[in-house]
Amino acid sequence: MRRLRERLHLAKIVLKELRKAPLGRSELERRTVKKWGTHSTFEGIFRYLVQNGYLEKSGREHRAPYVITEKGVKLLEGL
Q: Give the residue from 39, 26, 13 showing the smallest Cα distance to 66.
A: 26
CA–centroid distance for 8 within its chain: 11
Which CATH number does 2-78 carry?
A: 1.10.10.10
| Rounded to 5°, angle at Cα 53 from 47 and 57 | 75
The pLDDT value given to residue 1: 53
Mean pLDDT by 10 residues, the chain (79 residues): 79 90 89 86 90 89 88 85
The pTM (predicted TM-score) of the whole model is 0.84
Domain definitions of the chain by residue range = 2-78
DSSP 61: S
